[in-house]
Structure 1
Amino acid sequence: MVLPTKPCVEEWLEPAPMLRIHTGLQHSIIWPSQPNCLPVSFTTLPQKLQDEGYATHAVGKWHVGFYKKECLPTNRGFDTFFGYLTGSEDYWTHFRSGGNQANFLEHWYGYDLHDNLRPAWEYTGNYSAYVFTERVQNIFKSHNQDEPFFLYLALQSVHSPLQAPQKYINMYSHIKNKNRRLYAAMTTCMDDAVGNIVKSLQDLQLWNNTLLIFSTDNGGQVAEGGNNWPLRGWKGSYWEGGMKAVGFASSPLLPSSVQGTITNELMHVSDWFPTLVEGIAKGNIRNTELDGFNVWSTISEGKPSPRKELLHNIDAFEEDDKSTFNVNMTAAIRVGDWKLITGHPGADNGAWIPVPNSGINAFKPLLIPDQNVWLFNITGDPYEYRDLSQLRPDIVSQLTERLHYYYNKSVPAYYPDPDPKANPALHEDVWGPWL
């Protein structure tokens, strides 16, 4: 069999070519009822890969807006889409409430599993990890093996609500904490899904020309079974436990010298765009508005990353004075060994939460009234135990200047009120475009 001249790429990752401060999406998430989406003016990763001759498919979670048809995956560079447009849907029924942006929205319920533009009602009662795995395997089987493909797979696992098939729950009956037991079951189910997908690639003789990328997009939510110990904080915060993400790239195409190795070089989700388009597909990213770096040589050769600093976010949405950056704004930046946090980092200002029933007690930091600046040598102190902001005002000043720089280049956060026209009851009980 002749393999494609370009490698196939399979990715588990949130698509984000730009820093959030350049998209207007730096505050919270897009709730189902909000008339908002990733701005349609931006070129997406799958659009650029289509230009390079790739077939493009999205399976699983979208969650970057759907209020109008222009925002849908099949209008943002994907040839096909099978999955859900919102977040936190039920794994079995595929229904989702309106969210907690407004109390009355809790009573809105809509079906959210779509096969391209069609509500896929026939999958009601089928666990999503099984459904998504089957769809991916069918894509492989029907794929023209003379052309490369890009598959973006965003499994629900292990996002809330905590739900798993009983056979996986039974594996962890020894775990006393219910949330952790369900979380472990969901994780194992996800592992099996990934294994089955890789086996399909191998059976179809596609694996030898495939790059598989696996990544999380945030830290664990301790209220929903997740855990980040010994890191500080959890999902929704700017502490390392909320933001530090791990992942891996696997492929027979990678040199043996880097297979099985670990890199701690800096990388941001926005780096995947130039890395895959330029580094893998050998495409052209000129005249494309990007914040990322091509880090393919870091992954494939172990070279230092071209990224030297990493803006986590600047969220000024709730500030009265937005004329210039100030340290009351919630922000975080990493430059070399240093990490600066300003404003309110979230997660109760950063408790350390051990695994339930571990015998270790949770502990909270000493809170200083009105503190709005924290500085850590994140290389030497990855658990953020020692705030050095008082000892190193010079570093605080330097990193604050970088936040000023980024803020001046940012666009205002766009976080519209819920739209009553979004109510699924007005659209045959389905979440979908309403404008």
Structure 2
Amino acid sequence: MTISGVVVACILLRCAVARSSQPNIVFVLADELGWHDIGYHGSRVQTPHLDKLASEGIKLENYYVQPMCTPTRSQLMSGRYQIHTGLQHTVINPDQRSCLPLDEVTIAQKLKEAGYSTHMVGKWHLGHYTKGCLPTKRGFDSFFGFYNCAVDYYTYEKGKFCKFENETVLRMRGTDLWRNDEEHVAPYYQGHYQTHVLAKEAEDVIRKHNPSKPLFLYLAFGAVHVPLEVPKVYEDMYADVKDNSRRILLAMATCMDDSIADVTGALKDTGLWDNTIFIFSTDNGAATAYGGCSWPLKGGKTSLFEGGIRAVGFVTSPLLPPDMQGTENMELMHVSDWFPTLVHVAGGELSGTKPLDGYNQWETISLGRPSQRTEILINIDPLIPCEACANHTKWDHKKFDVHVHAAIRMGEWKLITGNPHHNYWVTPAEYPNMKNIYLNEPGKMVWLYNIAADPNEQDDLSDTFPGIVNILLDRLAEYNETAVPVQFPDCDTGADPARRGGSWGPWV
């Protein structure tokens, strides 16, 4: 290596971290934490620990995820767009024979190949119908957590209705908390608050870790996803917030913040922190119907507007160059980028994967260099209906059907087609004098925004710049040609926990 090459390597990982001493990687994923649900975005919420971590690192302020949980998690694990894995329609239900395809290589597998101890704590939500889908079969040395979403915070129960064509309904209900995909442990933890339980487990992983190997810890909290439940001591901190859902959600975020402080405390107590890259991200925008808030961004969870996909995210580490600590990064990034970025940081190889849609963004993060990507395919989902769309439109396109639920970001431009979901702005409920703003645009199915100039999507420019609309429709058509069929099977009654002693788990 040349002298200049050595200097660059030292800047990237502070010389002390050579390839023989790979950095630990701790990735914390919150569930449905909206843009306005963290303190450093001007929210009322108390998240002092996250705010401090972000202020010591690099805030990713032009960073995107997907509008719902499964697609984001699948792209984090595989580095591939959901149109290339068949997971482009909503989320995996607990009664479906579906999971991240078994021929997809995961980030955990690549880090394990690079010599890492790999551990997952928390919410999987990438399918569990057969044992091959489970975390310990996808590259994790250990797993403690649950397979589904919306698992009760105290009982660890999850319910699901299965409706059939003859209108009969099967109500499934079971508990969901596992250790290493073999031991169902929900009975031992019932009555203990989920966020605390997950943080304690992550602490145990850290304290038991053999420092002679690098650590990859993926901690995926259930918070702040419904059901809205929290210890009273946290809810009392927001007693003046009259809106019940908002009050509890704020309390859940503060509880998660305290739990993250316990996790980072364990890293510091064990001496691992000095050689750790810590990443925080949310999986999608706020669930505005359940107390979440993406203000001033438009929309929320499931929406193609910014409130559904612009994510809270940051990277912090003692390994970052001093002049990058405490900065904001406005370069374009996407959740799929973590796969190649972290494999690079770990000194691993990308051989053996399918073609990745993510880019290695380490120099963008650590040195502030321009992003490796110029566009993001947000999604193309042919199964979401557009009943309110007009039958005929001036945007009839030879290659792409604008009735389809789809969106793409290219440079400063963003195009949305079909039914975008949540065409409104939800204001913070703790400020009752602020009113929500709803738009009624019957028959409309194409929106164009300049996100750099108008991040809150107030000015639709589709009529002003029809040429740009057509360029982006052409690009959507090109992506659509690479899409695999949607994987969204019907309900399978074999999933019923009643058949397996009352717990959710593999049934095939």
User: Normalization by structure 2: what TM-score?
Assistant: 0.82
2:354 counterpart of 1:281 = no
Map 1:37-116 to 2 at 5 A.
37-98=99-160, 107-116=171-180
Q: SS of the residue aligned with 1:418?
A: coil
Q: Note the alpha carbon deviations across 1:225-254, whole angstroms, 9 max, x for none.
A: 101111111111101111111211010000
The residue aligned with 1:410 is 483
CA contact (8 A) 2:118 2:217 kept: yes
TM-aligned CA distance change 1:100 to 1:196, over 3 Å: farther
TM-aligned CA distance change 1:394 to 1:208, over 3 Å: same
Q: Note the alpha carbon deviations across 1:360-393, whole angstroms, 9 max, x for none.
A: 12122241x3211110001111111111111101
Q: How many percent identity over aligned positions?
A: 46
The residue aligned with 2:433 is 359
The range that moved more, 103-112 or 114-123, is: 103-112
1: distance between equivalents of 2:264 and 2:168?
43
The residue aligned with 2:226 is 160
Aligned length, in residue pairs? 428
Q: Which of structure 1's runs of 4+ aligned residues deviate more than 2 A? A: 13-16, 99-107, 317-320
Q: SS of the residue aligned with 2:438?
A: coil
Among 465, 468, 473, the residue aligned to 1:400: 473
1: distance between equivalents of 2:326 and 2:449?
30
Q: SS of the residue aligned with 1:198?
A: helix
CA contact (8 A) 1:97 1:105 kept: no
The residue aligned with 2:184 is 119
2: distance between equivalents of 1:173 and 1:159?
20
1: distance between equivalents of 2:241 and 2:288?
16
Q: SS of the residue aligned with 2:188?
A: helix
Tell me the CA shift for residue 138 of structure 1: 1.0
The residue aligned with 2:52 is none
Q: Note the alpha carbon deviations across 1:322-358, whole angstroms, 9 max, x for none.
A: x9631111100000000000010012xx111111243
Q: With CA pairs under 8 Å and 6+ residues apart, which has the higher RCO, 1 or 2?
A: 2
2:451 counterpart of 1:378 = yes
Q: SS of the residue aligned with 1:386?
A: coil
2:306 counterpart of 1:240 = yes
1: distance between equivalents of 2:179 and 2:399?
45
CA contact (8 A) 1:344 1:372 kept: yes
Among 219, 237, 245, the residue aligned to 1:179: 245
Residue identity opposite 2:239 in structure 1: S
Q: SS of the residue aligned with 1:109?
A: strand
The residue aligned with 2:26 is 10
Q: Note the alpha carbon deviations across 1:116-168, whole angstroms, 9 max, x for none.
A: 12110211111111111111111112111100010000011111111101111
TM-aligned CA distance change 1:271 to 1:196, over 3 Å: same
Residue identity opposite 1:359 in structure 2: N
Residue identity opposite 2:160 in structure 1: G
2: distance between equivalents of 1:207 and 1:65?
32
1: distance between equivalents of 2:312 and 2:478?
28
The residue aligned with 1:195 is 261
Tell me the CA shift for residue 212 of structure 1: 0.5
The range that moved more, 97-106 or 295-304, is: 97-106
2:420 counterpart of 1:345 = yes
CA contact (8 A) 1:94 1:112 kept: yes
Residue identity opposite 2:114 in structure 1: E
2:360 counterpart of 1:294 = yes
Q: Note the alpha carbon deviations across 1:47-72, whole angstroms, 9 max, x for none.
A: 00010000000000000000000000
Which structure 2 segments of 5+ residues have no match? Answer: 1-15, 30-72, 387-397
CA contact (8 A) 1:56 1:150 kept: yes
TM-aligned CA distance change 1:345 to 1:100, over 3 Å: farther
Residue identity opposite 2:357 in structure 1: D
2: distance between equivalents of 1:101 and 1:339?
37
User: Normalization by structure 1: what TM-score?
Assistant: 0.95
